[in-house]
Amino acid sequence: MRSATKATKTFSLDKAILAEVKRSKGTSSESERVNTLLKFALDLEKRAALYEEAANFFASPAEAREDRRAFESASLRAWRRG
């Protein structure tokens, strides 16, 4: 794991969460474990937002899908020419 720049922040965590971090930290420090978990959670949150955005995009009405197909076909023709 790369070395992190220390920035002292104060957060309140449930005792149960602290106990789980301590239990699952393995050979790394508790700070490293918390950083790993936070990075994972942020990545998971970002992926969930992207999936939601994709679901909203493809849930559009049929007319929009027809327009999208026409645009896609025109784009493919233009790429083939270029």
Say which amino acid occupies 82. G
What local confidence, expressed as pLDDT, does residue 33 receive? 94
What local confidence, expressed as pLDDT, does residue 16 receive? 96
Provide the greatest CA pair distance for the chain.
Answer: 63
What local confidence, expressed as pLDDT, does residue 2 receive? 64
Tens digit of pLDDT at every position of the chain (82 positions): 566 677 888 889 999 999 999 999 999 999 999 999 999 999 999 999 999 998 888 786 767 778 888 889 999 988 888 7
Question: What are the residue boundaries of the structural domains of the chain, listed by start?
Answer: 29-81
Predicted TM-score of the model (pTM): 0.60
Instruction: Describe the crossing of helices 15-24 and 30-58 by its angle, rounded to 10 degrees.
Output: 110
Residue 14, SS3?
coil
